[in-house]
Amino acid sequence: MRSHRFLFLLWFTLSVSGQQKIDTTVSQVVKLMGSRFEITVVAPSTELGTIYIEEAIAEIERVEALLSSWDRNSQTSEINRQAGKHPVQVDAELFDLIERAKQISKISDGAFDISYASMDKIWKFDGSMTHAPTDEAIRESVRLIDYQDIELNKDSLTVFLKKEGMKIGFGAIGKGYAADRAKALLVSKQVKGGIINASGDLTTWGTQASGKKWFVGITNPLKKDKVFTWMPVLESSVATSGNYEKFVTFKGKRYSHIIDPRTGYPTHGISSVTIFAKKAELCDALATAVFIMGKEAGMAMIEQLPGTEAIVVDTFNKIHQTRGITFSKNP
């Protein structure tokens, strides 16, 4: 339904005063969940920081084993295998995540929908497409997508996909959720501060080793090496979705790789969406939802969600933001 790229330039400094012992910043980049994760922690020593990062990696791998639809042994794969047949009992953690995903589907009128995994892949953005799909093929591609056909039983903790062939996938929420879980683990171990950056789904806590706030630079979709604003991210999360790297063009019309699961057609009118909220999971999902809903409907939805803000760049490179956003050229 969408892809994330690393759209944030992390900015941090360390300060040293005389011989006073201070914390250090330790970072590691690793491939997890098929994506680039950068884990940064503030710790008393490099050795301890490395241990913390290893624990965060283990937690992300645990989440991946739960959510992966590629792993035949995962609960998600079992849900998909039993679609149209019978309910599948799952862990409370997975049940709750699916329940929250359905809530986001409801408020976004289906723009966000984890049953998007049922979609036939008729759009190709690898250079192999020579013409646009027919209207009939597009309609057929989304016939199994409907979050309302994901049946949840809270008493028995079961998940049932009502139609045979239905599938769920966590590509638009899973990395954000994994970042949240890794952060929660490190906070429980009294790690003073850090950043979990899951390919652009980013969450922070505490401060830099110097005591300064964490800042992220929001890049210009048309000039990806340029930052148009710096934003402080304090005990909060941020995610960006963009459409400016994967697309196809037919008869002079450009089609984005971000597909509306309700219609099967690519989205238009927006180049990037950045969401700020407490949880990376929510940022991840809402970035997709706003992109598909469009600027007016998407921004109106965000304005009604407490503690949530958005920056939208439209296809004319005009910047729109919710009321709580203040831009800064210099952190």
| Residue with the larger pLDDT of the pair 20 and 325 | 325
pLDDT band at 17 (very low <50, low <70, confident <90, very high): very low
> Does 40 appear as a known binding residue?
no
Answer yes or no: same fold for 8-64+178-321 and 75-161. no
pLDDT (mean) for 204-211: 94
pLDDT band at 18 (very low <50, low <70, confident <90, very high): very low
Q: Residue 120's pLDDT is what?
A: 86
Beta-strand pair 201-205/237-242: antiparallel
Whole-number percent of the chain with pLDDT over 70: 90
pLDDT band at 15 (very low <50, low <70, confident <90, very high): very low
| Residue with the larger pLDDT of the pair 3 and 92 | 92
Whose CA is closest to 176, among 259, 92, 312, 283? 283
- Angle at Cα 35 formed by Cα 203 and Cα 99, nearest 5°? 60
Q: Residue 232's pLDDT is what?
A: 86
pLDDT (mean) for 39-44: 98
pLDDT (mean) for 274-294: 97
Q: Is residue 19 over pLDDT 50?
A: no
* Alpha carbon 122 to chain centroid, angstroms: 23
Helix, strand, coil content of the chain in percent (nearest 5): 30, 30, 45
Q: Residue 308's pLDDT is what?
A: 97
pLDDT (mean) for 60-89: 97
pLDDT (mean) for 234-262: 85
Kindly list the domain boundaries of the chain, sorted by start residue. 8-64+178-321, 75-161
Evaluate whether the domain defined by 8-64+178-321 bears CATH number 3.20.20.70.
no
pLDDT band at 223 (very low <50, low <70, confident <90, very high): low
Residue 116 near residue 261 (C-beta atoms within 8 A)? yes
pLDDT (mean) for 208-233: 81
pLDDT band at 219 (very low <50, low <70, confident <90, very high): confident
d(CA 171, CA 176): 9
Q: Residue 114's pLDDT is what?
A: 98
Q: Residue 10's pLDDT is what?
A: 52
> Does 180 appear as a known binding residue?
no
Domain 75-161: state its class: mainly alpha
pLDDT (mean) for 185-190: 98
> Does 300 appear as a known binding residue?
no
Q: Is residue 154 over pLDDT 70?
A: yes
Whose CA is closest to 314, among 300, 295, 290, 296? 295
| Averaged confidence pLDDT in the chain | 90
Q: Which two tokens stand for residue 306?
A: 């407490």
Q: Is residue 164 over pLDDT 90?
A: yes
d(CA 175, CA 171): 7
Q: Residue 224's pLDDT is what?
A: 65
pLDDT band at 130 (very low <50, low <70, confident <90, very high): confident
Q: Residue 1's pLDDT is what?
A: 52
Q: Is residue 329 over pLDDT 50?
A: yes
Residue 51 near residue 186 (C-beta atoms within 8 A)? no
Residues near 125 by beta carbon (within 8 Å), at least 6 away in sequence? 246, 247, 248, 257
Weakest-pLDDT range from 83-92, 173-182, 186-195, 224-233: 224-233
Q: Is residue 62 over pLDDT 80?
A: yes
d(CA 159, CA 75): 10
Q: Is residue 244 over pLDDT 80?
A: no
